[in-house]
Structure 1
């Protein structure tokens, strides 16, 4: 085979193999722990397709839905009495070790932009920042409004000691009876001042 035919065919075959190797990741939604990827940790925002990083936990239903303009939103539905009090045993985001290190000893403002779902909409939402054995914020309860609104609280993240664990951020509707659902548009973590030396 002549070189002018062989080398273009070899290049085409190599490009085809690379394309086949990349194909399984095309269109796949992000998953796993929320991370800052070594960038600026003063503000980490989870929105759009990255809301898929939620872990349903327990008997909750979580899924991405299309919001206005095709932007992805997170739907969370829970049955009455279905969840344990621990944030990691219900709908939650795992925060990667890099965020745990960067938030350790800092005050962090946690903000959730949410609203009731159109069907069986929750009147209230609970959120909780858990640093595992080191402590947690406790469940913060917010009254939801008809339209999307920001709900925030600040938490002094305990100093990380010993082996690194995993921090969690739990979000769930308050469910007085039957089932309730809410829509989350965005979750934001803002690192404020250092509270510990």
Structure 2
């Protein structure tokens, strides 16, 4: 084979191999723990495709939806009596160790922007910041509005002791009967103390 033909074909083959190697990652949604950027921990926002990092836990259903006007929204739904009281046994976001260290011993504000889902929408939701073995905020209950609204609470995160636990932000609909659901647009964690 002549060089004029060989080198262009070899170059094309290399380009095809690289494209095939990158293909599985193209369009994949983020998963795993919510982490900071390594520089600024005063405000951590979980929104857009990062809402896919939710762990359904228990018998809840989670579904990431893409809308033309608001981008990604997270729908969380559950049947009556399907969720246990423990925050990690229902829908939650696991916080990476870097956030746990930055929030340890600090006052934070948790803000969830949510509304009832279109079908069988919940009238209330509960939110809890759980700091592993050292404590939790307890469930904070909020009355939902027809449109997206910010719901906030403040919590003094206990100082981490010994081995690091796992911190969670748990969010769930209040389900008095049948099935109920909520839509979440964003969750913001802010250090305020």
Deviations 1:101-136 (CA, angstroms, capped at 9, x unpaired): 111111111000000111211111100000110100
Cα deviation for residue 181 of structure 1 reads 0.6
More divergent stretch after superposition (62-71 vs 125-134)? 62-71
Mapped to 1, the partners of 2:158 and 2:10 lie a distance apart of 57
Secondary structure of the corresponding residue to residue 41 of structure 1: coil
Deviations 1:84-116 (CA, angstroms, capped at 9, x unpaired): 101100000000111111111111110000001
Mapped to 1, the partners of 2:133 and 2:27 lie a distance apart of 37
Mapped to 2, the partners of 1:34 and 1:66 lie a distance apart of 20
The Cα RMSD (Å) is 1.3
Mapped to 2, the partners of 1:38 and 1:30 lie a distance apart of 18
Q: State yes or no: 1:160 paired with 2:164.
A: no
Secondary structure of the corresponding residue to residue 38 of structure 2: coil
Cα deviation for residue 4 of structure 1 reads 4.1
* Alignment-derived partner of residue 82 in structure 2: 82
For residues 1-197 of structure 1, the aligned pairs below 5 Å read 1-69=1-69, 71-193=71-193
Mapped to 1, the partners of 2:153 and 2:109 lie a distance apart of 6
Cα deviation for residue 70 of structure 1 reads 5.5
Matched residue pairs, number? 193
Secondary structure of the corresponding residue to residue 99 of structure 1: helix
Mapped to 2, the partners of 1:143 and 1:164 lie a distance apart of 34
TM-score of the aligned structures, taking structure 1 as reference length: 0.93
Task: Return structure 1 stretches of 4+ with deviation > 6 angstroms.
Answer: none
Deviations 1:158-195 (CA, angstroms, capped at 9, x unpaired): 111211221101000111111111100000111111xx
Instruction: Structure 2: state its 5+ residue gaps.
Output: none
More divergent stretch after superposition (136-145 vs 14-23)? 14-23
Mapped to 1, the partners of 2:183 and 2:38 lie a distance apart of 29
Secondary structure of the corresponding residue to residue 185 of structure 1: strand
Cα deviation for residue 29 of structure 1 reads 1.1
Secondary structure of the corresponding residue to residue 112 of structure 1: strand
Mapped to 2, the partners of 1:20 and 1:31 lie a distance apart of 22
* Structure 1 residues 5 and 70: CA distance shift in structure 2, 3 A: farther
